[in-house]
Chains A and B, each alone.
Chain A
Amino acid sequence: MNDNIAIKVDGVNKSFKLPHEKVSSIKSAVVNFYKRKRTFEKQEVLKDVSFEIKKGEFFGIVGRNGSGKSTLLKLLSGIYTPDAGKITINGKITPFIELGVGFSPELTGRENVFLNGSLLGFSRKDMGKMYNDIVEFAELERFMDQKLKNYSSGMQVRLAFSVAIRAKTPILLLDEVLAVGDADFQKKCYNYFMSLKNKKQTVILVTHDMGAVRQYCDRAIMIEKGEIIKRGKSEEVAQEYQKLFIGANESVDTVSESWGEGGVEILKTEATVKEKNIFITTKYKAAVNIKPPIYGFVLYNSAGTNIIEANTMKDNIKTSSLVAGEVAELVWEIPNILSDGKYSISVACCDTTKTHFYIWVNNATGFEINKLIKTAGLVNPKVRASISRI
């Protein structure tokens, strides 16, 4: 095999038999044998998958849940055996399928560090040398002689991560390591990734996070229903991956719920996305005579983060009183600085004391932004920069 290639996957197939009734006792095996009723579904998880990873490459594998990417990872690390095809690995590989594999709750933190280290191929002597660094990095000095079962889950993850990054094998497999931990911990992860990238380490990263793919990966493949449907530069693959979700979700889920003390009814809320601006149109109908109210809206992203909040009082917009039966239409105009993703809007109407809510509708409408721009920020307003020599 070419010396520049770290991993070569050639025509790999993998399927699992999913028995309709699991045979895990000899009696049922015998009974079923005579009944000839051993039915099972054959689920093809990977179909004819081929690709190559070069040495020193940061390689991404992306795909939706259930697309087969974790199975591929397990095949690469040798946990599963392919049904057909061949996987050639040039050099040793360390799989972090999960952090803290083999951690035992009954052992102390210290004992677990040594056990976990041995799974990465380190002897007690090696671990003894690294031990202090590991503990310091995990910031768990005071807890090392306590049993792991008394650790919080965050502490366990920190400990596991601190051991895991000691792995020195030429090829590293990382699976969704970023999915856990708080912001502080994630920052450590990113720093670690960056150091790997700078060191030209061969890394295979399996993830949903297109931000990470864009930032770290040189190349990537996208798997869908067990087949590679896109391969190439990480940017292209990340775009393709995001398209996957846009196609599937033309209509944004709008299960709205409303509460309030009555007096005003919301007839309709609509969002229109234009290139420059987003318009939110709401029709209010007064059931009784009301004094000039405050109208407002909140814009959330798919993670539920409040992105924009506005109301007529804060923004000094004059409103007028309504008589029973009157309908008012309000149009909000927001500059379209939003990043790609799904958004939902809640609208409300209350009196000037802000204590009496006529109505509040959660998730009144929603929309999707799809500019295919390269950013992990929540918003992307146009920014200017000037550079001058001093």
Chain B
Amino acid sequence: MRHYISKENRALISELVRTDFKLRYQGSVLGYAWSLLRPLLLFVILYIVFVKFLKLGNSIPHYPVYLLLGIVIWNFFLEMTTQSLGSIVGRGDLIRKIRIPRWIIIFSSSLSAVINLLLNMVVIIIFMILNHVDLLVTTLWLPIILLEVYLFALGISLFLSAMFVRFRDVGYIWEVILQAGFYLTPILYPLALIPSVTFQKLILFNPMAQAIQDARWSSITHETLIPHTVFQGGWYMYIPFVIVVVTLAGGLLYFRKESRYFAENI
């Protein structure tokens, strides 16, 4: 374990994250503000369409914050996986010419997504105050839920980035899956809007749906449908966690196996 966080590796990670940040908003006037503006603008659009026009979520207190939290968590997942996906190929020059631990590349690209997430969380806190959301004790769960999302996204990132070295279609396929995932996850609509309990259960098997619902339940309002209530305490409420663990382990193993041949396959 010790050599994973050695001085050299830490120096490298911090430099790579720094470079990522500097390069990402290179040449844009607003620069870093875009990483906050993007989810906020998406939020404004969805808020106008779904809350003002379609009157969704009237039954849920603090629905705007509820909506924003869902968007921010989903956006984090999307950003981290899409950035990591191309990161190995994108850093091909390093991989072909110098020996650095491969996982560092994925880890540093995931860190810049985490930093974005944390900044977005600050925005959410501001919204919560503006919206007079009562502070719940269960908010203490939120970091653990976010960690779960991170680990899930990390597993997927490892798998996708390694696969992308061999098959460039992975990029397009993942784009479609993300698009489908966005609608199959209760981000813009309250889960309760789905009449069939069976469908509600199926949707909640998805770790992203489970995590977003749990995050809303813990920090915004207990009137959120979470696996515990939908599955009525049955053992299969743990399925999303099992999926996360399996994804992470599978991603790590696949990445480790493939990473030895990155240099020749890129």
Contact = CB atoms under 8 A, between A and B. Distances in A.
A104 B23 contact: yes
Contacts of A122: 11
A16 interface: yes
B98 A80 contact: no
Given A107-B22, A107-B23, A119-B100, A26 B15 contact: no
Given A24-B166, A24-B167, A115 B19 contact: yes
Nearest to B10: A123
B260 interface: yes
A111 B261 CA distance: 30
Contacts of A79: 95-99, 263
Contacts of A130: none
Interface in A6-33: 16, 24-27, 29
A121 B8 contact: yes
Nearest to A98: B97
A364 B227 CA distance: 89
B2 interface: no
A115 B100 CA distance: 13
B171 to A, nearest CB: 11
Contact of A80 (B11, B173, B263): B263
Interface in B162-181: 166-169, 173
Interface in A88-106: 93, 95, 97-98, 101-102, 104, 106
B26 interface: yes
Contacts, number: 78
Interface in A68-124: 74, 77-81, 93, 95, 97-98, 101-102, 104, 106-107, 111, 114-115, 117-119, 121-124
Secondary structure class of chain B's binding surface, majority of residues = helix
Given A80-B263, A80-B264, A122-B11, A26 B98 contact: no
B7 A97 contact: no
Nearest to A102: B94
Contact of A106 (B7, B26, B98): B26
B12 interface: yes
Interface footprint category on A: 20 to 34
A202 to B, nearest CB: 17
A97 B98 contact: yes
B93 interface: yes
Interface residues of B, number: 30
Nearest to A126: B11
Nearest to A111: B22
A80 to B, nearest CB: 6
A123 B94 CA distance: 18
Interface in B80-130: 93-100
A337 B15 CA distance: 55
Chain A CB count within 10 A is highest, among B18, B99, B169, B173, for B99
A114 B23 contact: no
Contacts of A118: 11-12, 14-16
A31 to B, nearest CB: 13
Interface string B1-13: 0000001101110
A78 B93 contact: no
A51 to B, nearest CB: 20
Contacts of B261: 81
Contacts of A93: 99
Contact of A74 (B94, B168, B173, B263): B263
A16 B100 CA distance: 22
Contact of A124 (B11, B98, B169): B11
Nearest to A147: B26
Nearest to B26: A106
A101 B97 contact: yes
A114 B17 CA distance: 12
Contacts of A126: 11
Given A24-B168, A25-B167, A101 B94 contact: yes
A220 B97 CA distance: 23
B94 A119 contact: yes
B11 A123 contact: yes
Contact of B169 (A25, A74, A104, A121): A25
B7 to A, nearest CB: 6
Contacts of B93: 101-102
B11 A121 contact: yes
B100 A124 contact: no
Indicate the member of A79, A93, A101, A124 with the most B CB atoms within 10 Å: A79
Interface of B: 7-8, 10-12, 14-16, 18-19, 22-23, 26, 93-100, 166-169, 173, 260-261, 263-264
Given A29-B167, A95-B97, A101-B97, 11 more contacts: A25-B168, A77-B98, A79-B95, A80-B264, A81-B260, A106-B23, A107-B22, A117-B15, A118-B16, A119-B12, A119-B98
Sorted nearest first, the 5 A-B pairs with minimum C-beta distance are A118-B15, A121-B8, A123-B11, A78-B99, A81-B260
27 contacts: A24-B166, A25-B168, A26-B169, A79-B96, A79-B97, A79-B263, A80-B264, A93-B99, A95-B97, A97-B97, A101-B93, A101-B94, A102-B94, A106-B23, A107-B22, A107-B23, A111-B22, A114-B15, A115-B16, A115-B19, A118-B11, A119-B100, A121-B12, A123-B10, A123-B14, A124-B14, A124-B15
